[in-house]
Structure 1
Amino acid sequence: MSHPATVADVARAAGVSRQTVSNVLNRPEVVRPSTRSRVQAAVQELGYRPHASARRLRTRQSSTLGVRLEPVHGISGAVLDRFLHALVDSADERGMRILLFTAEDVDDELAHIEHLVEGSDVDGFVLTSTFHGDPRPAWLGTRGVPFVMFGRPWGLPDVDAAPHPWVDVDGRAGLHDATTHLLALGHRRIGFLGWPSHSGQGDERRRGWQGAMPPDEPLDALDLTCEDDVAAARRTVTGALDGGARFDALVCASDTLALGARFALGASVPVVGYDDTPVAEALGISSVEQPLVEVASAAVELLMGSGRSVLPASTGHRLLAPRVVWRA
């Protein structure tokens, strides 16, 4: 075909009307599966690409999702980069774009969100770095702005019944699996190095370690906390050792903490981090890997269902399983 394929070309090849082609592209759930498959085959064969600008004018949607670009803290900041890359890929498969913006804090983020909403620059948002008392869900929910959270709505009595969609990785299961494996190898005094309390993610990871440890093993002396900083982690573990603590192994809430623990303990004591960053891989530190491609795909699906436009309202959640990457 000498000219770019059009909707009429696809309709002719599939033996359907142009409206049916439009429905398959924009509202596939209303088309019978056999017809949908025939149209999709014609689209692929002809190499048809919908005219994005025309579709935005017709639907009065921007085909854009907004995401705050978080400041990088510690070596685990690489995780957000991997998530954003996966999110761009998942959004692109639905004909959506990702608009990144920066903000100094949550109040500044809400100001940017308000500006983008008033200008109709985005159809919805993907919120990251959720926390107790997070004001963003209520702000967006009361204004009817579609959004999905990467992270649970911490603090709700029942996060599974949240009135807005979220997707998260089961950190409790990840640390439980890591601790269980270390116990099976014969280690008994397995410590935990995490963040101070009232961190939703950190508390869940601590519960995973607690739930795996033998009931007769006193945990107070094995439970360490500090800020997510390599030097702070090294000082904390060194201080515990100087105070008489003994560790057969240590599981951590992040790779940043695991790196500091490795400096304090040396390579002879197994250390497990969380996030499986390039630093953990380079230094041979075992770590819990988050399935970020699946997280991004689930986030887009919760926002868009099976179609190609953002849903006016959405609920539901996905809790995905991580895996431990073991290194010698």
Structure 2
Amino acid sequence: MNAEDHTTSRQIHLVSRPEGWPTEDTFRLEEVELPELGEGEVRVANEFVSVDPYMRGRMVEQESYVEPYRLGEAMDGGAVGRVTASRDASLPEGTLVQHMQGWRDVAQGPAATFTAVPEIEDAPSSVHLHLLGMTGLTAYAGLVEVGRLREGESVFVSGAAGSVGTAAGQFARLLGASRVVGSAGSDEKVAVLTEKYGYDAAVNYKDAPIREQLPDVMPDGIDVYYDNVGGDHLEAAIDVMNRGGRGVLCGAISSYNERAARPGPDNLGRLITFSLSLRGFTVREFAERYRDEFADRAGTWLREGRLVYDETVVDGVENAPQAFIDMMKGANIGKMLVRI
């Protein structure tokens, strides 16, 4: 990459569609010469790029809410960077921007596809990729719109040590939840949830079946279940949901790399007898409706010191594939990021 004008972009391309777990051979690092900037375009040196669970679904050809990645082309995803060259007055050089041309070190395109974001005092630019970005908005909108969380209710969050889970737990507390409990895959993560993120309790789902552990930590039942895991966690939550309980189905990371579909929960009859509801969603459904409200509330909470976060950072765009695989295996606490 040219250090002065960033005219070369190092990018990760998808070169095969994985069956089961992706491997390093699923991806290839390519170096691409960028064309001259056209009128109304900008060039951006990325500072951080995001790797997220939903990207696994885009690696295969299947019907979904977003198109699959194309073989032999650069992958995309959330990124934050700084404008290094501009032919659009709305985004002058030096502007910090958020955009969807991740998995590369230099991005280029119409200015309309880049959004200026504020500099946050005492916080890295990467915060716009998690707590103040789509990750945070996903957690917030899921609780408010899908979960209809009311003050005094109890909340259980699966995959609670990930980026969405750590945000959801904090937001639930700030929105008035009476008890917030989470699950994670190690004793270290369990300790982080209770000691840093304010969870009332947390369980290591590897210690014993989650279905056996959950009744002990949610003795008064669950009003809102924020699901990032699916599978056995969803089944366990249905067991102890209170009458009128709501399940917020955000992710199902436990099954993303499986070759065959799992059987569904064996206790769906409780949805009828206890008037339970389960609703899946993607943040795109509510982004416009909640973006300003979320930005105002989350920004205020962060400035007041009422929100905390963790980042697991891997250096170098060439290491993005391994960062993604590690994230899928639960190696991160908080947001998994690649620093360029």
**Normalising by the residue count of structure 1, what TM-score does the alignment of the two structures yield?**
0.35
Larger Rg: 1
**Greater fraction of residues in helix:** 1
